[in-house]
Structure 1
Amino acid sequence: MANKLHDNVSRVKKFNVLGTATFIGLRAADVAFQYTLLNDGWASKLVQTLGGRSVELAQLNSAGRGLQPYYTIIAMMALGSSLKQIITMLVVSEQDTPVSSAIVISLFNTVFNSLNSLFSVWDVTSRSPPTAGSILGSPSIIAGLGFYLVGISVELLSELQRTAFKKDPANKGKPYAGGLFSLATHINYGAYTIWRAFYAFTSGGSLWGFAVGLFFFYDFAHRGVPVLDEYLSQRYGSQWATIKARVPYKLIPGIY
């Protein structure tokens, strides 16, 4: 018998005050941590301690003026990831979030964000322009930022659309497949994969971006989507089967 796939999300609908507060606190702390890694040189020192060479200090920050534009973008991507997840926790999520889950999920995100910060200052992988003023002339940075913004915006908007549908008493007991979810049954998972991949790409280059994107795509395709499909099939029966027949894509419209 095949092993049962693990569901990372509790399906118990309950507001857990302590768990929610822990999650919000840790995700907010990550913003300050990522900024400190970059601005105070912690990331550079760690790269050097591990035997690597950091980018030149002048490419990282300007004395008395804070981070250079490229590293401001990297720090803002960390900020965006935390803000999105805090909004989701406060506005979208209905599930119980125990303190243990809040800690694990927060640390998981902090690990990926910290790796992005480290790769952004390692001269082998960093996409930092040689001069601060050349950032607008870097198509890869502009593209990475653009796809990141599209991904994180689609994830948040799709979840807000679904939340608005659920809050209407007339829709009680009905599955949602409108708005952005009419393009892919789990478009929020696909959007998460996109912004995570391009956050990594902007920080550490093509290989790191591809590795991160592949990791999340594989996890969603082989665990997250099957687990959620099973849950939705049990809850909504033929209604969910009809939606899946109407919407052929699962994660990314036109691709999968």
Structure 2
Amino acid sequence: MSSQTPPTSGDNEPKHTGLGKDLIQRGVYKSNPLGTATFIGLRSLDPFLQYQILAHGWGSSLLTKLGLSTIPLYASGTPVATMMHETGIRLLDSLNLPLPRLILLAMATGSTLKQIFWLTCTSKEEFPPRAAATVSAYNTFVNSLASMLLISTATSAALSTPLVTIPGTSLSVSLPTAVGAAMYAVGMALETVPEIQRRRFKDAPENRGRICDAGPWGWARHINYGGYTIWRTGYAVAAGGWTAGAVVAAWHLWTFAFRSIGLMDEYMSGRYAERWAQYKKDVPWLLFPGIY
């Protein structure tokens, strides 16, 4: 999500392009304590909100007002047997969530931790409060929508068949939940590992002015965007099934293909010129190696 090397003289102004203004201050390498605090604070609230939606009826109340039926957690004070699972882990079981909802809550928590890690540990560019609020609001909205899909009887992936047994346990989940969880894990790794690698590359003095093309960056030019698309799609699949996943995948692919990649390409072309042009020839794939 960040550019490749520290700014050189005369290259520290935010970039404005015909595609709009990037939320990240490309080429502006400095901290913004207020922006960082805003982002950490707002993103940290999201898991608590998702828990209220999934466990304490916030989502069910809203869906009922919209005339939609929801999957109950309890029937006459007794856990719904077909939906409740015990993991054997006291902390998780104390949340009193069915396994599909517990998985979705874990995804929300993981996305918060990953994005805070990105801002504080792998990104070096300024992230002002407005950008922090915008990104936080977007992620909370998408996560909340996924939680709503999961608890609605009309869309819940938890009600899909067949069921898949988790290896080494007696627990089972629906096929979309299992596939979505796997996609989430793969996507998180594919976004996070390259960003860590790029930060280490940029921090090495001998790499100043060079474009990181090692490891995953030699597979696709925006491999981290590809990873984000995969885990976001997996999140949606685990919540609302195949249709929800297809919609989310299409949305993020469109956003990256027609905006984000264009903004980054304009910035990198202006900063690295022939080196970026050569990198594009050496690494023709944008998001997914061998596919796109």
TM-score bracket, shorter-length normalisation: over 0.9
Superposed CA RMSD: 2.1
Out of 19, 28, 46, the residue aligned to residue 5 of structure 1 is 19
Does the alignment pair 1:29 with 2:45?
Answer: yes
Query: What runs of 5+ residues in structure 2 fail to find an aligned partner?
Result: 1-16, 74-79, 87-92, 166-170
What residue in structure 2 maps to residue 95 of structure 1?
125
Indicate if the aligned counterparts of 1:60 and 1:71 stay in contact, CA closer than 8 A: no
Return the offset for 1:85: 0.2
Q: Deviation string for 1:47-87 (max 9, x for gaps)?
A: 11111000132237999661111110010010111111000
Give the partner amino acid of 2:202. Answer: K
What residue in structure 1 maps to residue 135 of structure 2?
105
Over the matched positions of the two proteins, sequence identity in percent amounts to 40
Return the offset for 1:138: 2.8
Could you list the structure 1 runs, at least 4 aligned residues long, displaced by more than 3 angstroms after superposition. 59-65, 129-135
2:221 match: secondary structure:
coil
Which structure: larger Rg?
A: 2
What residue in structure 2 maps to residue 233 of structure 1?
269
Query: What runs of 5+ residues in structure 1 fail to find an aligned partner?
Result: none
How many residues in Structure 1 have an aligned counterpart in Structure 2? 254
Q: How does 1:70-89 map to 2 (within 5 A)?
A: 70-89=100-119
Q: How does 1:155-194 map to 2 (within 5 A)?
A: 155-194=191-230
What residue in structure 2 maps to residue 123 of structure 1?
153
Distance, in Å, in 2 between the alignment partners of 1:236 and 1:181 is: 16
Give the partner amino acid of 1:223. Answer: R
Distance, in Å, in 2 between the alignment partners of 1:64 and 1:9 is: 39
Greater mean alpha carbon deviation, residues 102-111 or residues 63-72: 63-72
Greater mean alpha carbon deviation, residues 105-114 or residues 32-41: 32-41
Distance, in Å, in 1 between the alignment partners of 2:227 and 2:221 is: 12
Q: Deviation string for 1:32-61 (max 9, x for gaps)?
A: 111111111111111111110001322379
TM-score by length of 2: 0.82
1:66 match: secondary structure:
coil
Distance, in Å, in 2 between the alignment partners of 1:123 and 1:60 is: 16
What residue in structure 1 maps to residue 56 of structure 2?
40
Greater mean alpha carbon deviation, residues 231-240 or residues 138-147: 138-147
Distance, in Å, in 2 between the alignment partners of 1:93 and 1:68 is: 36
What residue in structure 2 maps to residue 211 of structure 1?
247
Out of 96, 99, 110, the residue aligned to residue 66 of structure 1 is 96
Indicate if the aligned counterparts of 2:50 and 2:105 stay in contact, CA closer than 8 A: yes
2:105 match: secondary structure:
helix
Q: Which has the higher helix share?
A: 1
What residue in structure 1 maps to residue 259 of structure 2?
223
Distance, in Å, in 2 between the alignment partners of 1:45 and 1:60 is: 21
Distance, in Å, in 2 between the alignment partners of 1:64 and 1:162 is: 39
Return the offset for 1:93: 1.2
